[in-house]
Amino acid sequence: MKEGKAKVFIAMGGNFLSATPDTTYTAEALQKCKLTVQVSTKLNRSHLITGEEAIILPCLARSDKDSVNGEDQFVTTENSMGVIQMSKGSLKPISDDLLSEPVIVCKLAMATFGNKSKVRWNEYVSHYDVIRDDIEKVIPGFESYNKRVRKLGGFYLPNSARDKKFDTFNGKANFTVTTLEKQNLLDGVLMMMTIRSHDQFNTTIYGLNDRYRGITNERRVIFMNRKDIISRNLKSGDVVDIYNHYNNVERIARKFIIVEFSIPEQCTATYFPETNVLVPIDSVAAKSNTPTSKMIKITLRKHIN
């Protein structure tokens, strides 16, 4: 969203604002839009930061029963193991007026493009099988999509390592060696990476406990090496503000509790998305263009009430 360019912004589900890097920068960009539209199953912070005009379109959750033309529909999802499986709701929707995400998208497209689009939006609305038929035509690994996804457990996507088939010049897995650039940190500077807790999926927080790291009822914590804590005249349990000054822009995440942890010196860890505000929008990986959320230079100051 470049300044003066974005007129309309549409977000499909999720907490877009909290999920993005450089949260304050993103918020300012959203507020410059003429219109912001959120398609959502529940309220979140993104709904509070809007353009000149804002629309929230409530939609069916995946746990809700979704019926089109009297026939129950289902969508498909990919799990962490690369398995495509059916997701079919069974709960009665809170309102008969709620539409599903696929139907909302199709209706928006039909209203926007009319008869000028080559995409079969009107057929997609009538039955989700039609959507999957077209996915099958363009994405490898989705052959007989509608038939296979109806089987118990779904089906695996192609996996080169599992199938021992590699699309390379010699048909084998090829490895590369990357020389890591040494990071020379100035005095007082630490390296921070963002992580996720056990009770979390993307930006959805199911609980405040993290059994992986022994944290209970809290998320605004910063994991630090004991020596780094002592060298700053701090102690475990102290509350600090975290600063990033990439490209001379001050970014602040306030009120984080220090947790002594088995982590290398000069390295720290915090939870995502609580410290996304510290991740610079213009600090990205060279090839993937993804935010450098695992390598953020920070300084600490004890929080003053």
Tell me if 36 is assigned to some domain.
yes
Residues 53 and 106 in one domain: no
* Residue 188: pLDDT over 70: yes
Residues 194 and 297 in one domain: yes
Give the count of domains, the chain: 3
The enclosing domain of 244 has a CATH number of: 2.40.40.20
- pLDDT (average), residues 24-52: 93
pLDDT at 6: 56
Q: Which residues of 77-103 are buried (b: 16+ CB within 10 A; e: fewer)?
A: eeeeeeebbeeebeeebeeeebbbbbb
* Residue 257: pLDDT over 70: yes
What share of the chain in percent tops pLDDT 70? 98
Give the model confidence (pLDDT) of 197-209 as tens digits: 998 888 788 899 9
Residues 282 and 222 in one domain: yes
Instruction: Among 58, 76, 96, give the residue marking a domain's end.
Output: 58
- Lowest mean pLDDT, pick from 8-17, 50-59, 82-91, 95-104: 8-17
Separation CA 14–CA 39 (nearest Å): 9
Tell me if 173 is assigned to some domain.
no
* Residue 137: pLDDT over 50: yes
Residues 93 and 141 in one domain: yes
Provide the whole-model pTM: 0.83
Domain of 297, in residue numbers:
190-302
* Residue 130: pLDDT over 80: yes
Mean pLDDT of the chain: 93
The answer to whether the bond into 273 is cis (omega within 30° of 0) is yes
Instruction: Among 144, 161, 178, give the residue marking a domain's end.
Output: 161
pLDDT at 264: 96
Residues 200 and 277 in one domain: yes
Both tokens of residue 162?
């599992």
Q: How confident is the model at residue 1 (pLDDT cuts 50, 70, 90)?
A: very low
DSSP structure class, residue 179:
P
Tokens 């991740």 belong to residue:
279
Q: Which tops the pLDDT comparison, 238 or 165? A: 238
